[in-house]
Amino acid sequence: MSPRTALARVRTADGWTLTVHRFIPAHVRRKTPALLLHGFGANGWCFRAPAGRSLGWFLAERGIDVWIPELRGTRSSGPPEGRGGTWTDDAARREVTFSAKLTRDLPALLDHVRQAHGGSELDVVGHSLGGTLLFAHLATEPDVPIRRVVALAASVRYGVPMLARAIAAAEQSRLPWRAVPNPIPLRLLCRLGAYTRIVLPAHEHFNVANVERATLLRMMKEGVEDATLAELAEIVRWGEGDTGGPWGRSLLESLGQVRAPLLLLGGAADRHVRPAALREVLGAWGSVERRLLVLGRNAGCELDYGHTDLLLGARAPRETFPLIAEWLEA
């Protein structure tokens, strides 16, 4: 029997409502549930694409109870009542930041999933900034009951395109006029690209030779979200070496106290997270049980992986997903 799906609503401490997609296996083989965290400018669709092509379905079919949240800033999340029902008003936009996701969204999600499973431990998988979100949470709460960690294309230092740097600089200059709309209309741009079948922006995030065109176009239609300038500025600061934050010191230094085992997966053709940035995280991680794999031809894969085809690549169900499942089932 196939897994069944369900929806949950999680309320954060500051009143935001987050939608969570749940894949409930027909036969539970692992008592530990798995929480899957999406990255910047995206939503959970990258984990819940159609059966046979997504990590969420793959894990649920292996008997794992899978929870896929939509963090604040996605279409299905909403600010407190009285804000007009949408996060795109000015007051709500100011609350769509990495720091708010770290201190408000993630604790609420972890508590909700644990309570649904009687207070048990859980496993967490994070892609891109979702992985960084988990790193930061573990740096501030090293004793949180997370059993095992998988991070895909996640670091504390990202290679940010020049255009993104320019946008962040314009925002930080506090000019009396705004050159870039806030939020940045990534969703509109990608939907236009999908309808016109122009996939040029995807080259930044995929090795397009490693993803089926139909999957790529659907991701551009359904899996992309607008992004706030404030969160973009945070990512740019990390790329420039500023890793300070709520953890109180260098995030890399703080990772030394983490004891949860880590599987770190990267793509040999990833333009945002280079192997050196992955090795930096691995070297700082406190658990003795940690492993890094850079997926590409040198690792026995058919092609070099990019940033997002680690999840949506045509070969991911047979080259990437089994590695994650085996790690969580250990």
Domain ranges of the chain: 4-329
* pLDDT above 60 for 243: no
Q: Residue 102: which of 258, 257, 273, 231 has the closest Cα?
A: 231
Res. 64 pLDDT band, cuts 50 70 90: very high
With 0-12 CB in 10 A as exposed, 13-18 as middle and 19+ as buried, what is 171? buried
∠ CA 112-118-122, rounded to 5°: 65
Q: What is the pLDDT of residues 296-320, one digit of tens each?
A: 999 999 999 999 999 999 999 999 9
Greater confidence, 174 or 274?
274
- Class of the domain covering 4-329: alpha beta
Here the tokens at position 99 are 């720091």
Res. 78 pLDDT band, cuts 50 70 90: confident
